[in-house]
């Protein structure tokens, strides 16, 4: 096997991948539908942005407690319960369209996204922690990339389902199918995912929303995630259906909803592929930093291409680059966080990363949708190209401050004595 060859993941990780893939349908299905459906239902562009980002705002207060729960009580129960809550939330989209006239549909969509945020906070914190528990420095980047790929791969399936199935069978059918898959995820997890992580004291103080890991590695990785998610979710996913309609771009004769689902699916498929590639490369190199910086530059190029896109080919190329940049950073970035974080604080560190990523993902739709109505697509997309470069500067500064070098080794104590114990200090 070559140095870049992939070994089969442990069975537990395969179960985690399957569960997160199925539940991801509910995360993607709403994006191609709601921006256009908003006008039909009388929902303003700002309110659509609020609904699309509501789950991320909820995770701002749910991520840290979820991470602390993992460190204190383990991974199995939060993972299974979180998946079930996300499945129920997906059913909420069906309710939003089925409520009697006169009852505001935006309220039901908003409640569903709030519930989705609570469930996904538990799922994200546990999935990454399970991967860290089952990994060492030689396969950590690969396993993190695989788990992140599982979380992400369900999303494009939901995008396609939301765009294509809604065009063929209607919006209610698309939401109902996504809910069935999402509920199946909790069954898979209950049957096949064991406990991996009980390391803490179950009798400690109450868990608080502000119980985050403020160590340099967690904050650094979280800020990188902030910039990427602001551009990726805010500038691309939340506006693409509108961009296609404004520029009369279509695939296979589909309307903007169906076409946006296919483009976004292609973007996420690119991201999923490069999650595996980036994670595996980082496991075969002395330091993870160069591959991270490389993919941040790829993301920068992708948004420049997006700002100039005017055809199916140019838009497709931009989506591939943006997906590659987003995905290629994910595995190495979470592996770097695990390298520099003690095992007993990995749940909290994952929570911190998710909190900052959700700030970016939550601000993105709320900022980009109104601004695009005011000044157009090109200036917003061009401005977002700078965010991956700024994220690279933050990454290098944080790594240098924590380890004393821009190129730390894959295992913390190989490059800086006592580094892992220092990372635990608040």
Of 202 and 117, which is predicted with more confidence?
A: 117
Looking at residue 208, what DSSP letter applies? -
Of 141 and 127, which is predicted with more confidence?
A: 127
Q: What is the mean pLDDT of residues 97-107?
A: 71
Task: Provide the phi-psi class of 245: left if phi over 0, else alpha when psi is between -120 and 50, else beta.
Answer: alpha
Of 292 and 253, which is predicted with more confidence?
A: 292
Of 195 and 386, which is predicted with more confidence?
A: 386
Residue 378, token pair as written in the block: 């090109």
Is 312 among the domain residues? yes
Is 347 among the domain residues? yes
CA distances from 164 to 36, 97, 151, 161 (A): 14, 18, 21, 5
Using the predicted structure, report yes or no on whether residue 425 has a pLDDT greater than 60.
Answer: no
CB < 8 Å & 24+ apart, contacts of 96-102: 97/171, 97/172, 97/175, 98/172
Using the predicted structure, report yes or no on whether residue 47 has a pLDDT greater than 90.
Answer: no
Q: Which CATH number is 274's domain given?
A: 1.20.1250.20
- Pick the closest to residue 398 from 222, 227, 226, 220 (CA basis): 220
Using the predicted structure, report yes or no on whether residue 3 has a pLDDT greater than 70.
Answer: no
Is 84 among the domain residues? yes
- Pick the closest to residue 207 from 348, 77, 59, 353 (CA basis): 348
Is 2 among the domain residues? no
* pTM score, whole prediction: 0.69
Q: In the prediction, which pLDDT does 424 show?
A: 32
Q: In the prediction, which pLDDT does 197 show?
A: 67
Task: Of 113-122, 155-164, 365-374, give the range with the top mean pLDDT.
Answer: 113-122
Is 3 among the domain residues? no
Neighbours of 413 (CB within 10 A): 12
Using the predicted structure, report yes or no on whether residue 208 has a pLDDT greater than 60.
Answer: no
Residue 175, token pair as written in the block: 């939401």
Neighbours of 353 (CB within 10 A): 30
Strand partners, 28: none
Range from 35-44, 170-179, 259-268, 350-359 carrying the lowest mean pLDDT: 35-44
Distance CA 132, CA 118 (A): 22
Q: Look at the chain and report how many structural domains it folds into.
A: 1
Distance CA 332, CA 337 (A): 9
Distance CA 139, CA 237 (A): 31
Q: In the prediction, which pLDDT does 306 show?
A: 92
Range from 211-215, 306-310, 312-316, 373-377 carrying the lowest mean pLDDT: 211-215
Phi, psi of 409 (to 5 degrees): -70, 170
Is 5 among the domain residues? no
Distance CA 270, CA 282 (A): 18
Whether the Cβ atoms of residue 426 and residue 214 lie closer than 8 Å to each other: yes
Neighbours of 29 (CB within 10 A): 33
Give the rounded distance of the alpha carbon of 128 from its chain centre.
12
Is 203 among the domain residues? no
CA torsion sign for 264, 266, 269, 275 is negative
- Pick the closest to residue 276 from 31, 12, 13 (CA basis): 13
Residue 162, token pair as written in the block: 């939301």
Average pLDDT of every residue of the chain: 80
Q: In the prediction, which pLDDT does 103 show?
A: 64
254-289 burial string, b = 16+ CB within 10 Å, else e?
bbbbbbbbbbbbbbbbbbbbbbbbbbbbbbebebbb
Domain that holds residue 348: 11-195+209-423
Distance CA 392, CA 299 (A): 11
Distance CA 399, CA 218 (A): 11
Phi, psi of 287 (to 5 degrees): -130, 150
Task: Of 15-19, 277-281, 359-363, 397-401, give the range with the top mean pLDDT.
Answer: 397-401
Distance CA 367, CA 62 (A): 23
Using the predicted structure, report yes or no on whether residue 51 has a pLDDT greater than 60.
Answer: yes
Is 52 among the domain residues? yes
Of 139 and 312, which is predicted with more confidence?
A: 312
Distance CA 82, CA 75 (A): 11
355-400 pLDDT, tens digit per residue, is 788 788 778 888 888 888 888 899 999 999 999 999 999 999 999 9
């Amino acid at each position: 096997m070559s140095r870049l060859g992939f070994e089969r993941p442990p069975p537990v990780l395969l179960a985690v991948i399957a569960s997160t893939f199925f539940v991801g349908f509910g995360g993607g299905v709403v994006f191609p539908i709601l921006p256009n459906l908003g006008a039909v239902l009388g929902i303003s562009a700002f309110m659509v942005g609020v609904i699309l980002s509501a789950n991320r705002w909820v995770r701002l207060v749910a991520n840290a407690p979820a991470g602390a729960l993992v460190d204190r009580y383990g991974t199995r129960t939060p993972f299974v319960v979180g998946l079930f809550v996300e499945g129920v939330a997906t059913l909420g989209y069906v309710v939003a369209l089925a409520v009697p006239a006169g009852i505001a549909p935006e309220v039901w969509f908003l409640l569903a996204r709030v519930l989705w945020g609570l469930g996904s906070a538990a799922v994200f914190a546990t999935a990454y922690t399970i991967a860290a528990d089952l990994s060492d420095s030689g396969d950590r980047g690969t396993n993190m990339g695989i788990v992140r790929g599982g979380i992400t791969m369900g999303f494009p399936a939901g995008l396609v389902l939301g765009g294509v199935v809604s065009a063929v069978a209607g919006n209610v059918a698309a939401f109902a199918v996504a809910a069935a898959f999402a509920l199946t995820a909790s069954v898979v997890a209950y049957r096949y995912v064991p406990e991996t992580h009980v390391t803490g004291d179950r009798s400690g103080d109450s868990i608080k929303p502000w119980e985050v890991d403020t160590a340099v590695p967690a904050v650094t990785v979280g800020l990188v995630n902030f910039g990427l998610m602001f551009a990726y979710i805010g500038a691309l996913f939340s506006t693409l259906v509108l961009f296609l309609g404004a520029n009369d771009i279509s695939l296979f004769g589909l309307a903007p909803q169906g076409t946006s689902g296919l483009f976004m699916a292609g973007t996420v498929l690119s991201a999923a592929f490069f999650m595996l590639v980036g994670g595996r490369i980082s496991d075969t190199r002395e330091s993870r930093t160069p591959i991270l910086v490389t993919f941040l530059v790829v993301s920068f190029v992708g948004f420049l291409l997006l700002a100039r896109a005017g055809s199916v080919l140019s838009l497709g190329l931009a989506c591939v680059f943006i997906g590659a940049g987003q995905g290629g950073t994910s595995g190495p970035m979470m592996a770097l966080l695990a390298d520099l974080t003690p095992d007993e604080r990995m749940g909290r560190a994952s929570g911190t990363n998710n909190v900052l990523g959700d700030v970016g993902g939550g601000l993105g739709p709320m900022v980009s949708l109104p601004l695009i109505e005011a000044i157009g697509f090109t200036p917003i997309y061009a401005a977002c190209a700078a965010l991956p470069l700024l994220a690279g500067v933050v990454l290098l500064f944080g790594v240098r401050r924590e380890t004393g070098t821009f190129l730390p080794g894959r295992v913390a104590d190989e490059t800086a004595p006592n580094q892992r114990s220092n990372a635990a200090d608040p």
